[in-house]
Structure 1
Amino acid sequence: MRFTLPFKQLAALGSLGLACLAPLPAAQAATWTLSGDLVTHDPSMFVEGSTWWVFETSDTGLGVKYSADGHKWTQGVSLFGGGLSWWGAYNGNTKSAWAPDIHVWNGKAIVYYAVSTFGSRHSAIGLATATSIAKGDWVDRGVVLSSNTSDDFNAIDPNFSVDASGQPWLTYGSWSTGIYTVRLDAGTLKPSGSRYRLAADSTGIENAFVMRNGGYYYLFVSKGTCCDGANSTYRIAYGRSTSMTGPYLDKNGVNMVNGGGTVLEAGAGRWIAPGGESVANGAMIRHKKDSTNNYTPIMFISDLAFSNGWPTF
């Protein structure tokens, strides 16, 4: 379930002086003060050198933003803005791509992303690599995972992570039977081995992000519906495990496969339906919908802390 409003139209709204997203500077409050181009959906954040990068869902390839300090953001040139030839088999020959996940692995920039249509399981996860994010010499590596209407999973919302032994994994999934992870070949960065089911929820679940902290792996997910205006129910929830493959239990000990997940943020008032989360340099980025402005999705960043082994803002 993904953002479907015209991204170019919304991008213009993101420059309209939204520095008031937080009442205090980052040094004094957990939520950062942001300015510049802030319209975003499903943002993935990574810091390369001294530059902060955000890759995001867009109707023209993969949207890209950059910042010198993580606070003032500029819209950059989309990656694969004209689309790629193989995307049409999954998204009806449109140029849109969803939910990118940007990282650096073995000295190279990598980005996984999804192509599909709203509500469909006929989907694919693609991969591109580059010498660095800043250089931007991206090479299409094609499809790494796909799904069809007969499958019990949806190949969207990819997330790359590395376990304590240095083994890379790809976590993915949306609605259907939930969230899965699979080991990746360290050379090809394509799935190699069996999949493991990590989480499910009949009310909707997607946008997984896995990170390690201390002796635990933490699984963050977006639950509910992302894009239904005032009726959007997106919220960020989490569980933790001592193993990459689970089980992930919430603070009440409920397995996330059985619908568990402690809510980190649910949204309220003007800013509703937080989701599409990722973590970089100790901070969580996500979008929230502006209920006073046609439910436009806006970037938020907050320091992510851990208290007694559980994440909190």
Structure 2
Amino acid sequence: MTLASPRGAATRWLRPVRALLALGAAAVTAAAAAAPWTLTGTLGTHDPNIYKTSTTWWIFETTDNNGIGVKYSADGRNWKQGVPIFGSGLSWWRNYTAADKPAQVWAPGCGEWNGMGYCYYAVSRFGTQNSAIGLTTSAGGIAAGRWVDQGPVVTSTTGNTYNAIDPALARTAGGSPYLVYGSFWNGIFIRPVSSTTLKPSGTAVNIARDNVNGIENGFVISRATNGTTWYYLFASKNACCQGANSTYRIVVGRSSSITGPYVDKNGVAMMSGGGTVLASSGSRFKGPGGQSLLSNGSVMAWHAYDAWNNGAPVLFINNVTWGSDGWPLPVW
């Protein structure tokens, strides 16, 4: 997430979330072929990372100064706020976070890998590329809650072509893990990680860039269509974090290789500003972005800002409908 310039290059903040009502009526107002799900409970969120285990739905989220935020639900509709991971922060974070926000975490990317829970997350200082992506793992999975920090796995500083934030794990069709990350500057990158430790083990490849609007929050899934495996790169463009003035929109491109090149539905390269729009601002809810999907591409979660409630960021979830041409249809 970012303002009109990168999340490391402008003031980043979260608007306070007031008492939000169940979004049933609000969801219906969104313009889409199918309305987002009706949600209840604790719906204030930023950068929601959705994940589903056999019995529980999870959201991992940005916090203002409270570690890695966690929500959970038995059905994906009624959400409760859970106990944050490392809610008081870790000592090494202070090398990257602002002095008054020592436990601020951005855009975690969490799930399970070979029975192990994992969370990538970003810590950064406003106005700089002084950023790090950390990794924490939990033996026995997410629900076990045995989180052990593995330290920083990607870092950036002034002069790097990327900003080390917005991490998300991706997988090839054969099961090899990759880490997607980056924001503004040269955009979004992807690099292989160890299948044992989930730490980077190879060279980063630049897969999306937009020098006019900016691009971040990369999220990659694979999906087979008519016998062909495609990799889909979902991303957020434009400005977030300005409440009702936010101009984020969710876009997508695809490639036959996880490392690209990715193009949008019109054939425009995502390295040249391409991206087919899946969600943009409506009359009430502005700046949809910070998106994530279940690994099979069936469900997407995102945040948008409520212009009728002081620009508070709100959770949205919807089914993803895929066309016969292999492209996802707008979710909103």
TM-score bracket for this pair, using the shorter chain length: over 0.9
CA distance in 2, matches of 1:46, 1:235: 22
Question: 57, 75, 92: which one pairs with 1:52?
Answer: 57
Does residue 294 of structure 2 align to residue 286 of structure 1? no
Residue in 1 that maps onto 2:28: 23
2:289 maps to a residue whose letter is G
Q: Does 1:73 align with 2:79?
A: yes
Match of 1:200 among 209, 225, 233: 209
DSSP-derived class of the 1:193 partner: coil
Q: Within the alignment, does 1:125 sit opposite 2:122 as a pair?
A: no
Gap runs ≥5 in structure 1? none
The one of 216, 219, 233 equivalent to 1:209 is 219
Q: Is the 8 A contact 2:262 2:269 kept in 1?
A: yes
2:165–2:181: 8 Å Cα contact kept in structure 1?
A: yes
Task: Note the aligned Cα RMSD (angstroms).
Answer: 1.6
TM-score by length of 1: 0.94
Give runs of aligned pairs for residues 251-270 of structure 1, distance below 5 A.
251-270=265-284
Determine the C-alpha separation between the residues in 1 that align with 2:243 and 2:77.
27
- The counterpart of 2:171, out of the listed 133, 149, 162, is 162
Q: TM-score, normalised by structure 2?
A: 0.89
Check conservation: 2:245, 2:286, Cα contact below 8 A.
no
- Describe how 1:1-313 pairs up with structure 2 within 5 A: 1=2, 4-5=13-14, 9-10=16-17, 12-14=18-20, 16-23=21-28, 29-58=34-63, 59-93=65-99, 94-130=102-138, 131-202=140-211, 203-214=213-224, 215-280=229-294, 282-307=298-323, 308-312=325-329, 313=331
**Matches of 2:191 and 2:305 in 1, distance apart?**
32
Q: CA–CA distance in 2 between the matches of 1:208 and 1:200? A: 11
> Is contact 2:243-2:312 (8 Å) kept?
no
Give per-residue Cα distances to partners, 1:227-265, cap 9 Å, x unaligned: 223432100001000000000010110110011111111
Instruction: Decide whether the 8 Å contact of 2:238 with 2:248 is kept in 1.
Output: yes
TM-superposed deviation, 1:19: 3.6
Q: For 1:268 and 1:53, how far apart are their aligned partners in 2?
A: 26
Number of equivalenced pairs? 306
Contact 1:30 1:303 in 2 (8 A): no
Q: Which amino acid aligns with 2:189?
A: Y
Point out the more displaced range, 31-40 or 278-287: 278-287
Which residue type is aligned with residue 204 of structure 1? G
Identity fraction in percent: 50
Runs of 4+ in 1 over 3 A off after TM superposition: 16-19
For the 8 Å contact 1:66–1:75, the answer to whether it is kept is: yes
Listed as ranges, the gaps of 5+ residues in structure 2 are: none
